[in-house]
C-alpha cells in the first residue's frame, strides 16, 4: 500500500534487479514522496542515470546500495547519477551516517565500484574451475588469500541465478547501445549451473555446494566430473595472484574512469564491502605495498597467460613516470 509512504522525505526501493520492475515501483511510489524528498534505489549494478529516467525529478534520485546481510555489513555505497544534485547527495550521506553505516561515494557506472570489482572475484573462481582446477583447491586458495569465503561459496550465497540475471541485463543494455559484450569462460560455468543442472545457489537448495538439512555444507561431488581436473593444475600462489590482481586492476580502471574519486573510498569499500583482505590495506593500497613496477610486470605475466583482463591500466605507467603512489 504505497499510500503509507505519504510525505516521506526518503524512499528507498529494493526490489529485484530488473530494470522494468524498478521503473514501475519508482513511478508508483514516487508520487507519495515529500515535495523536496529523495528517492533512492538499492540496485547493485543498474546505472542510476538510466533508472532516473523513470522519475519525475532525476535531480532528487540517487543510489543507496546496501550489502547483504544488511544487519552485519557496515558499508553503504552511494551512487551519484549524472543529474543528482548536491543537496540530494548530502541528504543520502547524512542518512547513512545516522544509521551507523560507513558511506563511500562513487560516480555512476554499470556495477558502480563494488559489484563491478567483486564480480571479478567470483568470475575468476569460475574461470579457474573451467580451466581444470579442482573446486577444493580454488576455495582453499580464496581463503588462503584472506577472503572470508572462497569464490564458489560466495557465488552460492549471493545466488548464481542472480549473477546470471545481472549479466544478462548488462548484455541486453549493452547490445542496445551496440557496444562490445564482454564474456569469458566463467559464463560457460554460469550457464551450465543455471540452465543445464539448475543449481542456482544456496537459496534454491543447491549450487556449487550441497546444503543438507542440519548438516555442514560440502562441495557438490559431481563438480569435478563436469569440470574435469587438468593434468597440470595451477599452484596455490598462482590462483591467489589471479584473485588479487583481477580485482585490483578493475579497481584501477574504476579510478581511471572517474567512477572512484578518492583512494580511501576504494580501500574502505573493498574491505568493508566484500571482504578484500584487510591486511593488504585495500585494493589500491595493495599496489603501494606490492610496488608499482613489480605490479606492472606481474600484470603483464598474467595477461600473457590468461588474457587481456589482466592488462595493466595506463594509469600505472603514468604513476611510475611521475613517481606517484595511491
- What string of H, E and C letters represents the secondary structure of 212-223? CCCCCCEECCCH
Nearest-angstrom CA–CA distance, 209 and 214 = 15
Give Cα separations from 77 to 85, 89, 224 (angstroms).
17, 12, 37
Nearest-angstrom CA–CA distance, 174 and 168 = 10
Q: Are 151 and 125 in contact (CB under 8 A)?
A: yes
Query: How many C-beta atoms lie closer than 10 Å to residue 256's C-beta?
Result: 14
What is the tally of helices (H) and strands (E) in the chain?
14, 7
Nearest-angstrom CA–CA distance, 277 and 323 = 26
Phi, psi of 89 (to 5 degrees): -60, -45
DSSP 178: T
Nearest to 151 by CA among 169, 135, 167, 166: 135
Catalytic hit among 65, 165, 225, 226: 65
Q: Tell me if residue 71 is catalytic.
A: no
Four-CA torsion 38, 42, 48, 51, nearest 10 degrees: -80
Which residues are the active-site residues? 65
Amino acid at each position: 500500500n504505497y499510500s503509507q509512504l505519504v510525505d516521506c522525505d526518503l524512499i528507498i526501493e529494493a526490489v529485484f534487479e530488473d530494470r522494468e520492475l524498478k521503473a514501475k515501483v519508482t513511478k508508483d511510489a514516487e508520487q507519495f514522496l515529500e515535495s523536496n524528498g529523495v528517492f533512492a534505489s538499492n540496485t547493485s549494478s543498474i546505472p542510476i542515470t538510466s533508472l532516473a529516467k523513470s522519475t519525475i525529478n532525476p535531480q532528487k534520485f540517487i543510489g543507496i546500495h546496501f550489502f547483504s546481510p544488511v544487519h552485519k555489513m557496515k558499508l553503504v555505497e552511494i551512487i551519484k547519477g549524472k543529474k543528482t544534485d548536491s543537496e540530494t547527495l548530502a541528504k543520502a550521506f547524512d542518512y547513512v551516517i545516522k544509521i551507523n553505516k560507513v558511506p563511500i561515494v562513487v560516480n555512476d557506472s554499470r556495477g558502480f565500484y563494488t559489484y563491478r570489482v567483486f564480480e571479478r572475484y567470483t568470475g575468476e573462481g569460475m574461470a579457474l574451475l573451467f580451466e581444470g582446477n579442482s573446486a577444493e583447491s580454488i576455495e582453499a586458495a580464496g581463503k588462503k588469500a584472506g577472503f572470508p569465503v572462497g569464490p564458489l561459496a560466495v557465488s552460492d550465497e549471493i545466488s548464481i541465478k542472480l549473477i546470471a540475471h545481472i549479466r544478462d541485463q548488462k548484455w541486453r543494455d549493452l547490445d542496445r547501445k551496440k557496444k562490445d559484450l564482454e564474456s569469458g569462460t566463467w559464463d560457460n560455468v554460469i550457464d551450465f549451473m543455471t540452465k543445464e543442472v539448475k543449481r542456482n545457489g544456496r537459496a534454491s537448495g543447491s549450487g556449487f555446494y550441497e546444503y543438507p538439512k542440519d548438516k555442514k555444507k560440502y562441495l557438490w561431488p559431481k563438480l569435478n566430473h563436469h569440470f574435469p581436473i587438468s593434468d597440470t593444475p595451477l599452484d596455490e600462489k598462482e590462483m591467489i595472484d589471479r584473485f588479487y590482481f583481477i580485482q585490483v586492476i578493475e579497481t584501477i580502471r574504476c579510478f581511471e574512469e572517474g567512477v572512484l574519486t578518492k583512494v580511501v573510498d576504494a580501500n574502505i569499500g573493498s574491505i568493508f564491502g566484500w571482504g578484500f583482505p584487510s591486511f593488504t590495506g585495500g585494493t589500491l593500497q595493495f599496489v603501494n605495498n606490492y610496488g608499482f613496477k613489480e605490479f606492472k610486470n606481474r600484470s603483464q605475466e598474467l595477461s600473457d597467460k590468461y588474457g587481456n583482463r589482466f592488462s595493466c591500466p595506463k594509469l600505472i605507467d603514468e604513476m611510475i613516470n611521475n613517481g606517484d603512489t595511491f
